[in-house]
Amino acid sequence: MNYRSTRGQVSGQSFESVVLEGLAADGGLFIPEQLPTLPADWQTAWAELSFPELATELIAQFVGTDLSHTKVSQLVQKSYATFDTPEVTPMVQLDARTHVLELFHGPTFAFKDVALQFLGNLFEFFLERRNAQSGGHRLTVVGATSGDTGSAAIYGLRGKKNVEVFILHPRGRVSAVQEAQMTTVLDENVHNVSIEGTFDDCQDIVKELFSRAEFRREHSLGAVNSINWARILAQISYYFYAFFALRRSHGADALPAFVVPSGNFGDILAGFYAQSLGLPVAKLVIATNANDILDRFLRTGTYEKDASVAATPSPAMDILVSSNFERFLWYLARDHEVPSSVVDPEERAARACEILAQWMDRLKTAGSFSVSPAALDAARQVFWSGRCGDAETYSTIAAHYSHEPSYLLDPHTAVGVHVAETLRPEIQALGAHVHSVCLSTAHPAKFSDAVLRAVNDAGHQLDFDSILPAPFVGLLEKPRRCFESENSADAVAQHIVDVAQSK
């Protein structure tokens, strides 16, 4: 199993190297050179597997000779032992044909834990193995967060040997709980950095640091954002798990239409890969908030940045540019932009890299690019999309809290549920056997202000202490450590140098 960059200048990379490098040297994202073929009997052989067993089988398809099946199993078991339920990602039914896949049962109560607990253990294992062979290998992980990635990365990497982690977050643009989850972790290898700006500013700084070849080499930079392929790989597992759970509860012909709150596109990209591997999926639905670059693309065929980020009740989705969309665009270019007269697979891949690089350059210089009508039609075959405003987010939270039985949604999950309800006629038209499965990305207690506003403004009462997870009790009063930086890659780079020199 080898990997190539979407930009075309790097190929033939092993699983281990793409995990440790994160972002390709040419600025592209790593993708498999070929997708594996699942066992012919996977639908029966895997039907009753536990989540860790299922994740092991799927991840093992992508690691080549870098990890044995036994080692994959050990790393997976270690990663998901930190979750508060044996199911890892249980599914809850809202109505006859609508379900919520709860992805928030990890140590930071966000879906990012599914990938980052695993990624942290991968980093540690690969570095320990390299050090046993030659010594001196360390990793400086640099990441940007709109809230949940930061705490999940920190909890996945805190105390790990040979790893320093620097997490950039936009000052004042994450929830109080999210900020506290990050900045109250005082382990010596954890370094929080607040930036005056937006998540996109933080992400741009990270990408700029990775583009500095000498700095990247000197500090052995590693990526923890969903630009890291291992993040996407780990998330494929819960699409398969939800498929099997739905069929166990609703019959052998039940089919999921996954509705996914989408910001950086990593979560639903895992669904695209699951479908590409052969998972039966009725539809993948992108749910956006007011920052709707993905919804606008599917309506117009033009991928265009807004002038600024809108602050919404679902801050983890407050993103101008969805970095992971580049991976899907590569497949779109290969299959629908490269002329059909080009039949050699490697030549088609090379041409796709050229087209993708041109698109990304236009996005950077002009703020937008457009795909062909054929490519847009192909994208619409894979994805539907919908948009949810702030008022709809609050009303959806209130409506489901007042239902019997009551269910409390976080604002990101509410975006997904609202879009699922808006598209209910279209989803039901796919067949009586199709069920909406809305991915729930965070525990509602992480967004107390939005949840309480939604419930109270609707005239309901909510005892918030009754839903507060034990680790959140007293969290806001704990000591904190955070470096306040100006909005500049140079300033962040200097902070990384200063920390390295102080060790």
Closest-CA residue to 484 (of 193, 263, 197, 273): 193
Calculate the CA dihedral of residues 363, 366, 367, 371 and round it to 10 degrees: -60
Calculate the CA dihedral of residues 456, 316, 363, 276 and round it to 10 degrees: -110
Whether 112 is catalytic is: yes
Contact in structure between 15 and 36 (CB atoms under 8 Å): no
Continuous segment of H or E residues that includes residue 127 = helix 112-133
Contact in structure between 140 and 220 (CB atoms under 8 Å): yes
Task: Kindly list the distances between the CA atom of residue 340 and the CA atoms of 33, 181, 234, 278, in Å, as whole numbers in the listed order.
Answer: 20, 51, 33, 24
Query: Residues 231-259, buried b or exposed e (16+ Cβ, 10 A)?
Result: bbbbbbbbbbbbbbbbbeebeeebbbbbb
Q: Which of 71, 112, 160, 283 is catalytic?
A: 112
Biggest CA–CA distance in the chain, Å, is: 64
Cα separation, 4 vs 11, whole angstroms: 4
SS3 state at 315: helix
For the beta carbon of residue 347, count every other beta carbon within 10 angstroms: 11
Contact in structure between 93 and 101 (CB atoms under 8 Å): no
Q: Can you say whether residue 22 is alpha, beta or left, with left for phi > 0 and alpha for psi between -120 and 50 degrees?
A: left
Cα separation, 107 vs 120, whole angstroms: 13
Strands (E), 322-392: 368-370, 383-387
Residue 420 φ then ψ, to 5°: -60, -40
Q: Residue 388 has what DSSP assignment?
A: -
Contact in structure between 92 and 102 (CB atoms under 8 Å): yes
What amino acid positions are annotated as catalytic residues? 112
